[in-house]
Structure 1
């Protein structure tokens, strides 16, 4: 009887398990059975106007297989000293000294010329194992280079540190500001979709603060310099008589400085975006108050080492150059709290070469924004979180979606809540431009309104809106403030966006062996050869293959015909793209862009505009 009861219990348990598994896992089974029915990639609308509709895919087919993974990269050297200022004096504070060291240091003024090799002073100090006593260096703005040797004369520590003069207490203000500060926080080579995929923490931060994402922001040039100079230092379309930019070559730092703003500039790259093609820095006429460039140049010349295989991510001691940049921003917080400021900070290392490197930046940028919020900086600041273009080379760039994203850089405006309450029409227009076609020229005009904040009053905005409406439809200003509604009929031509960067037009793929395609491709390669012909150290290129050809549709009423081409040349296997207009005489209607890597191919030429074409003999 006991055995019978045991069998019945076992049978009931097994039956229960069967029904539980069957009915419990049935939805899972159905999910696996439906797995082969692949859903279409989610579409994201970028531009949506009467003359332009641009959309993209959140995660296009084959996305992950085309992305090169990047390991977590860390600086391998120790950080033995940090810079601190106490009671007006500068000190080096030891950290984790594990052996006796003999150190030498060299001093420069904080306002030294970036290429100056002259030091104002030098000295020596010893660090004993376990040392904690601070070493006094001097006072005021200083740059100090340090090198420490062990008892065997082996180099154990080399670094560059810097000091600011303490902020003036008289400048600290607790009253509501009459001016709106501006901070440009730039990350090179990040498209809007790149940001959406790889910056979830920053995205979550934004959702709790007033902001506008500008999906229709477009590049107008090939590189950072070509896209940022029209914004920071290019011409303005303001009418004559404007108090703001009477000099159409004025840098924004100069214009803000004249209006009583403090100014700052920092990059994590010694060969920065403000360097002209002859290697000199295109400095604003009025020196910025806080400039990280001399510090980064000193690091690059004396203490730099690389931590990636391509040698594109640099460290000094225990810090990446990008960490030095973020520390620079945070050290400026006490100065930002005192008076209105205009500042530009730009990161390029890592993100220029590695698409997935963005994963490693998300947390640090979220924390940076949070610290700015906690310090009440964001309550008085228009912050532009932006990029210059998307990724310019690599396997993903070769896809149609990657090609589009290259011309759709990140642009997000973060602003205080009070700005919308005080200037509802202006900020309402700004938000309505989220899916309009906009450019760096528009950003410059937007900041022209910020510097004269009273211009954002509803009555003034209404006058400006009426003035904008008086322009003929085919003759809009090159730059339009984002506090005004961007006209719905604005095209790439009206916005001064070259054909290569414009995706408003429908693309029709053509056979690569078509006679007209081949003729246009040979013309494109010959145009490259004409550029490098004066330089005997560069090989002349030959067309190896046409990789891709598109016909650009300008509409039924247009008699303009253009081809978008991608070709591979030899020697060097360079891959280039450009647009060619078809007529009796072929015409390039865009810059020629290189979309393949060229590291090590052009050491014989210094001009970055020509390096992309030159294969050295």
Structure 2
């Protein structure tokens, strides 16, 4: 019997080897041009898989909803139903179900409206209640009433959101005309965002979603897509505004500054679109983490008041390092359900622009995406059933890959994992028929260098699809930080540098690297970097809060070969290095991209662009600036640990 098993195993190994042998060879580069050689990364490399453990999705409740909602298409209003029959089964005796609700709404009069909400008085919730059209968000509370007891026991608390149809008769007529315009159709634009997910990690952790996107006709993956900023805010702003405002980071703490920016959703609104924006994890959301957020509501349908209220009033459960369960539901589920309602209300009535963003699965654990794989695929299939893909441009995007932790710090591909977010773009059948030249360009652009600014120009292009060339665009709507960037419906240059795509040297993945083994050279560069960091603390007046740095050890130093750089100028006197090093006090692991002149020992480096490859949560509590948090080792944290 053992011999049979051994022979079976041998045959299996031979078959596996034959299968591997006949597989097409892996590409060497995502982008391969004279100015950019973006290396291919194997998602299933042994070093990455050694750190990866698939997560399983667990529900946030084990009971049934006692309050449910449905949309009455005739009255165009929501109805609420209470489930007294379920209550009796739950209690296993005769009881009556008594429910109530409270309306949630944005407090526009608060000093910081994005961080404030108000709740109405408690309103009785009867079965088959027709919900007033001004109610967009509610929390519910149900109790079981036993005739032998005067005291009600709270059985279930829940929360529901409603995308109410507020279009007037005049707006309906106008919207219908926009939908029927054959000269220049107005496609819906829906952006589905998943935080901290590289195209590499998506293949590793979300195979079901990958198969859906890869096999469904009309999807194009931009494999040469390279981020332009460190965290969510600059990368998302580059898409939404055409500028990432890196030099204006301190202004974001100023009340009202965020409202002054030119968002693409404003242009869509002016063009007759109905607009929406939703994001989970209210305490970490893009425009609110250590920032005052929006003073004015930015879009027609804005989920933040609801998310803020339920995170404050319902039971929370943390998983994958973030707030995962809010009440009875998965945090991101509120966002995707809101997106579903938005599509249901307007897919046949009005052109839509919607941005829906999820942080809670993926922000703190790269393997967290594996738990949402099946769930997100189900939402994509639901969108398909609702008809979203008939006339919509849909994007599945991320802001960046995983930025810290073992995947970033302990793998050779960690830098690429961080810098290469996913970008999938879908074009519907009518678009492919009407604009075959745009589709041909999309196909060409899949393996050419692209950036967030190109996505911004693509959104601008969707508002004027008959614009036939990049030069025909009004200069006022060009991406401010990248005048040479263009819509992905136009052919991108085959040989394109990072600077031409608006990508700084810090994040550019186009340049081949070789490891520097000369210890003397490593030490000279590292000591100069640490000295520069200490001077930066003094210049920023941070020495009373942050401990000075002292070099502990150099982990790795690579030299970049800057493709296309004139050998007679900068390349002759300066070397571009990527330096990984530890300092003493809490052993932070930093990564610096710098220019070094070995002849005179001069250094060019932006300290604010330092990457921190291990977690800084425990060592940066004395600082509120998210940039400074990366490199400030709080003096009080050192004392605490000692």
Q: TM-score range, shorter-chain basis?
A: 0.7 to 0.9
Distance 1:211 1:258 in 2: 28
Change in Cα spacing, 1:138 to 1:158, as seen in structure 2 (3 Å) is: same
Larger mean Cα displacement after TM superposition, 572-581 or 540-549: 540-549
- Residue deviations 1:97-138 (CA, integer Å, cap 9, x gap): 32467766432336864333433433356xxxxxx9356664
Change in Cα spacing, 1:36 to 1:258, as seen in structure 2 (3 Å) is: closer
Partner of 2:189: 182
Larger mean Cα displacement after TM superposition, 553-562 or 222-231: 553-562
The answer to whether structure 1 residue 107 and structure 2 residue 121 are counterparts is: no
Distance 2:441 2:604 in 1: 38
Counterpart selection for 1:424 from 415, 436, 457: 436
Larger mean Cα displacement after TM superposition, 510-519 or 409-418: 510-519
Partner of 1:66: 51
- Residue deviations 1:553-609 (CA, integer Å, cap 9, x gap): 225713342211112233232222121111454221571111211233333333222
Distance 1:202 1:309 in 2: 20
Distance 1:323 1:587 in 2: 45
TM-score, normalised via structure 2 length: 0.79
Counterpart selection for 2:531 from 518, 523, 526: 523
The answer to whether structure 1 residue 50 and structure 2 residue 46 are counterparts is: no
What displacement does 1:364 show? 2.0
- Residue deviations 1:163-197 (CA, integer Å, cap 9, x gap): 33246596385964521121111111111111222
Change in Cα spacing, 1:490 to 1:520, as seen in structure 2 (3 Å) is: farther
Counterpart selection for 2:554 from 546, 559, 579: 546
Larger mean Cα displacement after TM superposition, 352-361 or 252-261: 352-361
Partner of 2:367: 356
Q: Aligned runs of 1:587-606 on 2, under 5 Å?
A: 587-589=604-606, 591-606=609-624
- Residue deviations 1:241-281 (CA, integer Å, cap 9, x gap): xxxxxx99410111110011110101112135541675211
Change in Cα spacing, 1:203 to 1:35, as seen in structure 2 (3 Å) is: closer
Distance 1:322 1:480 in 2: 32
Counterpart selection for 1:401 from 407, 413, 416: 413
Larger mean Cα displacement after TM superposition, 288-297 or 203-212: 203-212
Change in Cα spacing, 1:25 to 1:367, as seen in structure 2 (3 Å) is: closer
Change in Cα spacing, 1:70 to 1:199, as seen in structure 2 (3 Å) is: closer
Distance 2:332 2:132 in 1: 27
Larger mean Cα displacement after TM superposition, 479-488 or 322-331: 479-488
- Report the 3-state secondary structure (helix = DSSP H, G, I; strand = E; otherwise coil) of the residue aligned with 1:194: helix
Distance 1:280 1:22 in 2: 65
Larger mean Cα displacement after TM superposition, 297-306 or 183-192: 297-306
Change in Cα spacing, 1:123 to 1:417, as seen in structure 2 (3 Å) is: closer
What displacement does 1:517 show? 2.7
Query: Does the aligned pair in 1 maintain the 2:485–2:502 contact within 8 Å?
Result: no
Q: Show structure 1 runs of 5+ residues with no match.
A: 1-13, 126-131, 237-246, 469-474
Query: Does the aligned pair in 1 maintain the 2:195–2:363 contact within 8 Å?
Result: yes
Query: Does the aligned pair in 2 maintain the 1:379–1:416 contact within 8 Å?
Result: yes
- Report the 3-state secondary structure (helix = DSSP H, G, I; strand = E; otherwise coil) of the residue aligned with 1:452: coil
Query: Does the aligned pair in 1 maintain the 2:106–2:117 contact within 8 Å?
Result: no
What displacement does 1:303 show? 1.3
Distance 2:622 2:523 in 1: 36
Partner of 1:222: 230
Query: Does the aligned pair in 2 maintain the 1:269–1:348 contact within 8 Å?
Result: yes
TM-score, normalised via structure 1 length: 0.82
Query: Does the aligned pair in 2 maintain the 1:224–1:273 contact within 8 Å?
Result: no
Distance 1:147 1:575 in 2: 48
Partner of 2:116: 116
Partner of 2:335: 325
Q: Aligned runs of 1:216-295 on 2, under 5 Å?
A: 216-235=224-243, 249-275=261-287, 279-282=291-294, 287-295=298-306
Distance 2:45 2:366 in 1: 15
- Report the 3-state secondary structure (helix = DSSP H, G, I; strand = E; otherwise coil) of the residue aligned with 1:453: coil
The answer to whether structure 1 residue 613 and structure 2 residue 626 are counterparts is: no
Change in Cα spacing, 1:527 to 1:107, as seen in structure 2 (3 Å) is: farther
Change in Cα spacing, 1:254 to 1:166, as seen in structure 2 (3 Å) is: closer
Partner of 1:4: none
Distance 1:26 1:189 in 2: 41
Residues paired across the two proteins, number: 571
What displacement does 1:147 show? 4.5
What displacement does 1:149 show? 6.4
Partner of 2:503: 497
Task: Name the Cα RMSD after superposition.
Answer: 3.8
Distance 2:137 2:25 in 1: 52
